[in-house]
Structure 1
Amino acid sequence: MDFYKVSSVEEVKDTINSNFSISLGKELIDLKECNDRILYEDIVSPLNVPGFKRSIVDGYAVKCKEVQGASESMPSMLDLKGEVIMGKMPSKSLEFPGECMYIPTGGMLPEGADSVVMIEYTDKMDDTTILVNKPVAFGENVLNEDEDVELGETVLKAGTVLKPYSISMLSSLGIIKVPVICRPKVGIISTGDEIISPEEYPKPGQIRDINSYLLYSSVIEDGGEAIFYGVIRDDYEKLFETAKKANEECDVVLISGGSSVGKKDQTAKIIDELGKPGILLHGISIKPGKPTILGKVKNKPIFGLPGHPLSCAVVYRIIVRYFLQRMMKFEEVEYPIPCKFSTNYHKAKGREEYLPVTIKNIEGEYIAVPVLTKSAAISGFTKAWGYVKIDKNVEGIFKDQQVYVYKFQR
């Protein structure tokens, strides 16, 4: 395949969709451990919630017809028959006209009652007599037994990312073992003679490893299991063996560096020689991130990512994350922030550009300010809140033009 016969982002996604059909299995995990995990299957309620009629206020359980027409000038007088104890069935019922029972928020409605009068609209004359100053409608201040969740209702769809509110729903249904999609195993390899580990002190010409930790934490954030295979020098045999091992042990392999066409850039050759069909595409029409590789070996994807940190971050965000979400049957819905652009910005036609920006709030209006940095610099995306996508056939952005800012991280 010819290098820089570049593909558009949409063409890359089409290539992914037509070449890979990796399915991840299911595992049952404890309810307390499922935050940020993705549901494997629909959750159908096995019961009604709350399961009984309960009060949503502190007050008095009544028959609504007993307080019809009640007012401060002419209150309804009711006989207090007792009180509802939280967590227990009422020991008494309203059997005769003019009866009521005190009920706390969450208490079970006694037999014979159909509504609850808020305590604010009552006065207690003595231990057995309550004055009601306001009428209630049938069912007012009462939550029915199936009003929250109904038996047989699909409460959570497969592909849902579990968060505290959805986890509390599972808790209310008594589901303590949750079916989630297995985490995809993502192997991470960094390559380059100039790359050293963070604990080492760089000599002239050396740089500490950035991309391994960028990719490692990004994979974890996106629900994967990251496996670090280390920094491999520009040694063809060692890099080949490491990539082969990662391909055998993982669902996805990310190789950072060596994706361009320099003397020591060997990633493309290694992917092609690992197995058929090898490289599917080499070069994407985006900025930053053009020298990106997508390969296929043993029906598994191998991505050759640019060594420059900002380029690597953008390609991960736009392409690799798309693949991982597709594997996990999850489609993220993004809600970009509309902003005014702070300045005139020119770009060359022919490539989509993902421009890092910060957001400022100036007199109640959101302003997107570009973070102008080279793709080799780490500071660009550490300063940026998100990015603006500029279509490939657009030559730039005008000052005060409306743009949409997408967040870099979740």
Structure 2
Amino acid sequence: MELFKVMSVEQVKEILEKSFNYSLGMEEVSLEEAYGRIVGESIISKTDVPNFRRSTVDGYAVNSKAVAGASESMPSILTLKGEVLMGQEPKVQLDSQEQCIYVPTGGMIPEGSDSVVMIEYTEKLDEDTILINKPSANGEKVVQVGEDIAAGEVVINKGSRLRAYELGVLSSLGFSKVSVFKKPKIGVISTGDEIVGVEEIPKKGQVRDINTYILYSSILRDGCKPINYGVVRDNYHQLQNTMTAAIEECDIVLVSGGSSVGTKDQTMKVIQSFKDAEIFVHGISIKPGKPTILGKVNGKAVFGLPGHPLSCSIVYEIIVKALIDKIINSDEKQYPVNCTFGVNYHKSKGREEYLPVIIKEEEGGLLAEPIFSKSGLITGFSKAYGYIKIEKNLEGLREGEKVAVYKFF
């Protein structure tokens, strides 16, 4: 029986970087379709935001010199000149320092004024007289022209993933469309005589298809277009026909199951059957996920992923997603949650391990505890908040040790 010739995670990522070059191009989409997409070129503002001076509070627009030294015992006495209506230019202005004008939050600051006093620090003596009980510095409670965004400023960088907040910024700048990188198509194939569709009732020795839906959802999350090719039996010709169709249609092909070295594992044989096929990896020094294949057919990446759901998911997150980020030009970073590890945990040296954990809120902070679940089981894994990466040269983690937890999205 052939044995794995394992590579480190770093070596596999180097192969991904050097061996695959995709040019997917860009497309223009409406803001309604842009959520989660990757910006194809840096977006530059064509206007100032705001394009007028506006108040941040309900209050009175004043000249700051007129209220210098104002207090409750010695208020400044100003004449009310009028008010500013929301969404309209002021129809009045300050002709002298002894005047003030009422402005609502977001209202335009009238000429002659340089600051706003909150209404809480004022008193209306009569219809025309306002007492100011607090001084106001030049520019206080005022947003200046271009203070949020200046014309010519880069507001969203190339490679950024568009969230609701970025889309809000774009709408404020008058962009109704945005140029984004096209979505890579990723084919998903599940293999195994023991795998049946979700609608079927499994017989003894069979299980419903899990990996297709984990991978499909993960691909959607990562801004790509998944294509489901269904369940394929451990049959060389059937898998070859399905993989041929997937390679023609997709940019990346993921085959879950059949990646080990058993007599019925067909994935490696099928990849090798293609005329220009290259096999870069058969085995990664990672736990879980050792029996992983990385090949290249027609310039496209073909992955043979482990059949166990946990192993399949971890390899997707650590290896496949690295290639996806390269293809879609994503510069998105994932920042971990810092926790205290809750137990003593032993692992073998020589392999990176990705340990699913839950997070508990304790009096002293956040506590991370491993989910002890065999890799073929899914319910425990689904309860995990995220995972901890344990370096290959370590023998485990100690209770009380500080760890970084990366979230499963």
TM-score when scaled to structure 1? 0.96
Aligned pairs for 1:130-279 (under 5 A) are 130-279=130-279
Deviations 1:188-209 (A, max 9, x none): 0011111100110011111111
Give, in angstroms, the shift of residue 383 of structure 1. Answer: 2.4
- Which residue is 2:110 aligned to? 110
- Which residue is 1:91 aligned to? 91
Deviations 1:218-243 (A, max 9, x none): 11111111100110111211111110
Equivalent residues of 1:356, 1:380 under 8 A apart: no
- Which residue is 1:391 aligned to? 391
Instruction: Give the letter for the 1:210 counterpart.
Output: I
Deviations 1:131-158 (A, max 9, x none): 2121111111111111111010011111
Equivalent residues of 1:310, 1:380 under 8 A apart: no
SS at match of 2:242: helix
Instruction: Give the letter for the 1:154 counterpart.
Output: V
Equivalent residues of 1:341, 1:369 under 8 A apart: yes
Instruction: Give the letter for the 1:61 counterpart.
Output: A
Counterpart Cα distance in 1 of 2:363 and 2:54: 47
Counterpart Cα distance in 2 of 1:25 and 1:54: 41
Give, in angstroms, the shift of residue 403 of structure 1. Answer: 2.1
Counterpart Cα distance in 2 of 1:55 and 1:339: 42
- 1:122/1:233 CA distance change after superposition, 3 Å: same
Give, in angstroms, the shift of residue 334 of structure 1. Answer: 2.2
Deviations 1:321-367 (A, max 9, x none): 11111111113322222222222222111111111111222323322
Equivalent residues of 2:288, 2:314 under 8 A apart: yes
SS at match of 2:269: helix
Instruction: Give the letter for the 1:163 counterpart.
Output: R
- Which residue is 1:45 aligned to? 45
Instruction: Give the letter for the 2:321 counterpart.
Output: R
Counterpart Cα distance in 2 of 1:140 and 1:204: 74
Deviations 1:233-271 (A, max 9, x none): 112111111101101101110001111111111101111
SS at match of 1:334: coil
- Which residue is 1:125 aligned to? 125
SS at match of 1:374: coil
Instruction: Give the letter for the 1:77 counterpart.
Output: I
SS at match of 2:321: helix
Instruction: Give the letter for the 2:403 counterpart.
Output: V
Moved more, 321-330 or 335-344: 335-344
Counterpart Cα distance in 2 of 1:170 and 1:97: 39
Counterpart Cα distance in 2 of 1:70 and 1:367: 53
Counterpart Cα distance in 2 of 1:343 and 1:309: 25
Moved more, 141-150 or 365-374: 365-374
Equivalent residues of 1:28, 1:178 under 8 A apart: yes
Q: Which runs of 5+ in 2 are unaligned?
A: none
The answer as to 2:8 corresponding to 1:8 is yes
- 1:89/1:14 CA distance change after superposition, 3 Å: same
Counterpart Cα distance in 2 of 1:342 and 1:66: 62
Give, in angstroms, the shift of residue 314 of structure 1. Answer: 0.7
Counterpart Cα distance in 2 of 1:104 and 1:381: 52
Give, in angstroms, the shift of residue 59 of structure 1. Answer: 1.0
Instruction: Give the letter for the 1:25 counterpart.
Output: G
Give, in angstroms, the shift of residue 56 of structure 1. Answer: 0.9
Counterpart Cα distance in 1 of 2:252 and 2:291: 19
Counterpart Cα distance in 2 of 1:44 and 1:17: 30
Deviations 1:44-97 (A, max 9, x none): 110000100111111111111122222222222212111111111111221234
Instruction: Give the letter for the 1:118 counterpart.
Output: M
The answer as to 2:272 corresponding to 1:282 is no
Give, in angstroms, the shift of residue 3 of structure 1. Answer: 4.8
Aligned residues: 408
The answer as to 2:72 corresponding to 1:75 is no
SS at match of 1:319: helix
SS at match of 1:66: helix
Counterpart Cα distance in 2 of 1:67 and 1:205: 84
- Fraction of identical pairs, as percent: 56
The answer as to 2:323 corresponding to 1:323 is yes
Instruction: Give the letter for the 2:233 counterpart.
Output: R
Equivalent residues of 2:271, 2:277 under 8 A apart: no
Instruction: Give the letter for the 2:267 counterpart.
Output: T
Instruction: Give the letter for the 2:274 counterpart.
Output: L
Instruction: Give the letter for the 1:385 counterpart.
Output: Y
Instruction: Give the letter for the 1:205 counterpart.
Output: G
Give, in angstroms, the shift of residue 388 of structure 1. Answer: 1.5
- Which residue is 2:33 aligned to? 33
Counterpart Cα distance in 2 of 1:86 and 1:205: 70
Equivalent residues of 1:186, 1:226 under 8 A apart: yes
Equivalent residues of 2:160, 2:332 under 8 A apart: no
SS at match of 1:381: helix
SS at match of 2:86: coil
- Which residue is 2:402 aligned to? 402
TM-score when scaled to structure 2? 0.97
Counterpart Cα distance in 2 of 1:401 and 1:209: 38
Equivalent residues of 2:349, 2:394 under 8 A apart: yes
